[in-house]
A and B are shown apart, each in its own frame.
Chain A
Amino acid sequence: MTQTMKRRIQTGVLYALILCVVVLSIFPFYYAVLSSFRSGTELFSSSLVPDFSTIDNYIGIFTAQPFGTNILNSIIVATSVVVLSLFIAVTASYALARISFRGRGLLLMTILSVSMFPQVAILSGMFELIRALGVYNSLPGLIIPNTVLTLPFTVWVLTTFMRELPKELEEAALVDGASSWTIVRRVFLPLMWPALVTTGLLAFIAAWNEFLFALTFTLSNDVRTVPVAIALMSGASEFELPWGRIMAASVVVTVPIVVLVLVFQRKIVAGLTAGAVKG
Chain B
Amino acid sequence: MTLALSASGAGKKSAHKSKLTSDRIRSAWLFLSPMLITLAVVAGWPLLRTIWLGFTDANLSDLSRTTFIGLENYYVTFDGEAYGLLVDPDWWNAVWNTIWFTVVSVGLETIFGMFIALVLNAEFRGRGFVRAAVLIPWAIPTVVSAQMWGWMLHDQFGVLNEILLTIGLISQPIAWTADPDTAMWAVIMVDVWKTTPFMALLILAGLQMLPGDIYEAARVDGVHPVRVFFKVTLPLIKPALMVAIIFRALDALRIFDLIYVLTSNSADTMSMSVYARQQLVDFQEVGYGSAAATLLFLIVAVMTTITLMAGNVKLSEGPQS
Query: A153 CA to B39 CA in the complex, in Å?
Result: 13
Q: Which of A99, A122, A276 contacts B46 (CB under 8 A)? A: A122
Stretch at the interface among A1-9, A55-63, A144-152: A144-152
Residues of B within 8 A of A155 (CB): 35
Query: A257 CA to B280 CA in the complex, in Å?
Result: 34
Is B207 a contact partner of A120 (Cβ separation < 8 A)? no
Query: A224 CA to B118 CA in the complex, in Å?
Result: 38
Is A211 a contact partner of B31 (Cβ separation < 8 A)? no
- B212 interface contact, C-beta 8 A: yes
What would 6 A/B residue contacts be, using CB atoms closer than 8 Å?
A92-B31, A95-B31, A157-B243, A202-B202, A265-B132, A275-B216
The smallest C-beta distance from A6 to any residue of chain B, in angstroms, reads 12
Is A121 a contact partner of B289 (Cβ separation < 8 A)? yes
Is A261 a contact partner of B132 (Cβ separation < 8 A)? yes
Residues of A within 8 A of B312 (CB): none
Is A118 a contact partner of B316 (Cβ separation < 8 A)? no
- B112 to chain A: closest residue by CB: A21
Residues of B within 8 A of A166 (CB): 319-321
Stretch at the interface among B69-77, B79-87, B139-147: B139-147
Q: Which residues of A contact B (CB under 8 A)?
A: 11, 14-15, 17-18, 21-22, 24-26, 28-29, 31-32, 35, 44-46, 48, 87-89, 91-92, 94-101, 104-109, 111-126, 128-129, 144-145, 147-148, 151, 153, 155-157, 160-168, 174, 179-181, 184, 194-195, 198-199, 201-202, 205, 208-209, 211-212, 226-227, 230-231, 241, 243, 246-247, 249-250, 253-254, 257-258, 261-262, 265-266, 268-269, 271-279
Query: A94 CA to B304 CA in the complex, in Å?
Result: 23
For the A-B complex, the count of residue pairs with Cβ-Cβ distances under 8 Å equals 330
- A29 to chain B: closest residue by CB: B136
Query: A257 CA to B139 CA in the complex, in Å?
Result: 6
Is B24 a contact partner of A180 (Cβ separation < 8 A)? yes
The smallest C-beta distance from B316 to any residue of chain A, in angstroms, reads 4
Query: A250 CA to B138 CA in the complex, in Å?
Result: 12
Q: Which residues of B in the span 86-129 have a Cβ within 8 Å of any Cβ on A?
A: 116, 118-119, 121-124, 127-129
Is A129 a contact partner of B42 (Cβ separation < 8 A)? yes
Q: Which of A95, A104, A118, A262 contacts B27 (CB under 8 A)? A: A95
Is B121 a contact partner of A277 (Cβ separation < 8 A)? yes
Is B318 a contact partner of A100 (Cβ separation < 8 A)? yes
Query: A199 CA to B85 CA in the complex, in Å?
Result: 37
- B177 interface contact, C-beta 8 A: no
Is A125 a contact partner of B46 (Cβ separation < 8 A)? yes
Is A118 a contact partner of B256 (Cβ separation < 8 A)? yes
Say what secondary structure dominates the interface of chain B: helix
Residues of A within 8 A of B148 (CB): 28, 31-32, 247, 250
Q: Which of B35, B157, B213 contacts A88 (CB under 8 A)? A: B35
Query: A279 CA to B27 CA in the complex, in Å?
Result: 45
Residue among B27, B161, B254, B319 facing the most chain A CB atoms (10 A cut-off) = B319
How many residues of B are counted as interface, with CB atoms below 8 angstroms from the partner's CB atoms? Answer: 109
Residues of B within 8 A of A24 (CB): 193
Residues of A within 8 A of B56 (CB): none
Is A194 a contact partner of B246 (Cβ separation < 8 A)? no
- B137 to chain A: closest residue by CB: A25
Is A271 a contact partner of B144 (Cβ separation < 8 A)? no
Known contacts A29-B137, A167-B319; 8 additional CB pairs below 8 A are: A17-B119, A120-B277, A125-B50, A129-B42, A129-B45, A129-B46, A166-B319, A201-B135
Query: A26 CA to B140 CA in the complex, in Å?
Result: 11
Known A-B contacts A230-B143, A243-B151; A148 and B315 likewise in contact (beta carbons under 8 Å): no
Is A118 a contact partner of B257 (Cβ separation < 8 A)? no
Is B47 a contact partner of A125 (Cβ separation < 8 A)? yes
- B2 interface contact, C-beta 8 A: no
Query: A91 CA to B233 CA in the complex, in Å?
Result: 28
Query: A122 CA to B43 CA in the complex, in Å?
Result: 8
Stretch at the interface among B179-187, B262-270, B295-303: B295-303
- B34 interface contact, C-beta 8 A: yes
Is B145 a contact partner of A28 (Cβ separation < 8 A)? yes
- B319 to chain A: closest residue by CB: A167
